[in-house]
Chain A
Amino acid sequence: MITIRRSDDRGYADRGWLRSHATFSFGGYHDPNFMGFRVLRVLNEDRIAPGKGFGPHSHRDMEILTYMVDGRLAHRDSLTGPHILGRNELQAMTAGDGIVHSEANASEDEPSHSLQIWIEPKTEDLTPSYQQVGFAPEDKRGRLHLLAGPDSADPSRTAVINQDARLYVTEVGAGDSVTHTLPDGRHAWIQVVRGTVDINGNSLQQGDGAAVSDERAVVVSGAGEILLFDLP
């Protein structure tokens, strides 16, 4: 079963310096029908004006991932920093038993465009941590590249998160078809980062999402980039 979440149906907030689309309930946007999917709790698409950002604030008990679509973000937290996050990079922060962080557009000239993702951790009160991974553009072309998972063969390319969930990225073009097999009991969330893709026969545009359950596989084709969450 595939349930599509259209881009225009998401929650939307415009604070002037921040334009944010929320796939699931977040902040002032609340829809009891969209409180998350499995352990995926937040999926926000943020566009931040040049030189602007979120001041220092706190988090607890959440795995917080940021995937850059365009531009650069500057991150600081109570553990480390500053860090600059750019395209083809992912930041993974374990809030654990408490962390304070800030994030802002690192450019004074160009807007930033990113996806912020919150995944519920498997346990509370973890030790906070920060990771940043990167990959070459060709690593995602026509194949799935593992950005984050419960373990990592290469911590510079795959971030470790405290949940039995995996986050992949892929970019498909003409003639490409990428298949991800879903074992029994596993689910997937697809988020279209850019372009137009076909997911098991369903056409999805930039900003659209899809919940996938009770399917043997996810087959991606078309012309675009997606994030694929493999979830318990």
Chain B
Amino acid sequence: MAQPAAVVAFTSRCGATETIAHAAAVGTVNARALPRLRRLPDDGGPAATECADTLRRLRKEYVPPTEADITGSQALIIVPGAGMTPSSDGWQPFMELLDRAASSGALAGKVAAVIDAGDSQTVASFSAALAARGFALIAAAGRDARAHGRAVGAAIMSSVDSPAR
């Protein structure tokens, strides 16, 4: 059987949220799951001068999440920047992608987590959006992204270990 996978979707322009996403991804690896790091497209505009090189690299290194990524994975971890909402630029199309997957029943049984990048309101709004689309949310114990990723990884690995569940 294929290794259980978790999509780690994030937005980042200057690399700070990317670092948090990597920590969450490492957590899933700790639990022996497979992370698929996906960066949501930005608006294509120029970055602040101090972030120009990082933004160029981010645009080059990552691909955006696809519906196949989501339906082919057992879990979704999202890392939105502080202050974002599910209707923010970048996230709105992603939520529509989830809606399409949900409408075909493809999200049934999947778990999700929202990693706190510094704003509890952001976590709350994204958690509600994911719950509304049928995900079972894995709560965070504090703001440790790696520990949160590990909890998600453990959840999907245990579902594989116990196929009757």
Q: Does A183 contact B (CB under 8 A)?
A: no
Asked if residues B22 and A98 are in contact (CB atoms below 8 Å), the reply is no
B61 touches A58 (CB 8 A): no
Task: Fill in one digit per residue for A93-127: 1 if any B CB lies within 8 Å of its CB, else 0.
Answer: 00001111010100000000000000000000000
List of B residues within 8 angstroms of A57 by Cβ? 37
Interface residue? B14 (CB, 8 A): no
Q: In the complex, what distance in Å separates the CA atom of A60 from the CA atom of B30? A: 8
Q: Is B32 an interface residue (CB 8 A)?
A: yes
Contact yes or no, A98 B27, CB < 8 A:
yes
Q: Are B37 and A98 in contact, with the CB atoms below 8 A?
A: no
Q: Which of A37-94 contact B (CB under 8 A)?
A: 51, 53, 55-60, 78
Q: Tell me whether A58 and B62 are in contact (CB under 8 A).
A: no
Interface on chain A toward B: helix, strand, loop, or mixed SS? strand
Number of A-B contacts (CB under 8 A): 42
A50 CB, nearest partner CB in chain B, Å: 13
CA distance A123 to B32 in the complex (A): 15
CA distance A100 to B30 in the complex (A): 11
In the bound complex, do residue A97 and residue B30 qualify as a contact, i.e. CB atoms below 8 Å apart? yes
Q: In the complex, A177→B153 CA distance in Å?
A: 52
Interface centre among B27, B28, B29, by most A CB within 10 Å? B29
Do B26 and A100 touch across chains, with their CB atoms under 8 A apart? yes
For the complex, what is the distance from the CA of A60 to the CA of B3, rounded to whole Å?
A: 13
Cβ contact within 8 Å between A99 and B26 = yes
Which residues in B have their C-beta under 8 angstroms from that of A56? 22, 25, 37, 61-62
B30 touches A98 (CB 8 A): yes
Over the window 21-41 of chain B, the binary record of Cβ atoms lying under 8 Å from chain A Cβ atoms (1 yes, 0 no) is 011011111101011010000
Bound-state Cα–Cα, A14 to B95, Å: 35
A78 touching B62 by the CB < 8 A rule? no
B160 in the interface (beta carbon within 8 A): no
Cross-interface CB contact of A100 among B25, B32, B60, cutoff 8 Å: B25
B37 and A99 form a contact (CB under 8 A):
no
- When distances are taken between beta carbons in the complex, the residues of chain A under 8 Å from B23 are 78
Cβ contact of B25, chosen from A53, A78, A97, cutoff 8 A: A78
Contact mask for chain A residues 205-225; partner B; CB cutoff 8 A; 1 contact, 0 none? 000000000000000000000
Closest 10 CB pairs of A and B: A98-B29, A78-B22, A98-B26, A55-B61, A98-B30, A58-B29, A100-B22, A56-B37, A100-B25, A60-B29
9 of the cross-chain contacts (CB-CB < 8 Å) are A56-B62, A57-B37, A58-B25, A58-B28, A59-B29, A78-B22, A98-B26, A98-B28, A98-B30
Given A55-B62, A98-B30, A104-B61, 16 additional A-B pairs, CB 8 A: A51-B60, A56-B22, A56-B37, A58-B25, A58-B34, A58-B35, A60-B32, A78-B22, A97-B29, A97-B30, A98-B27, A98-B29, A99-B26, A99-B29, A100-B37, A102-B61
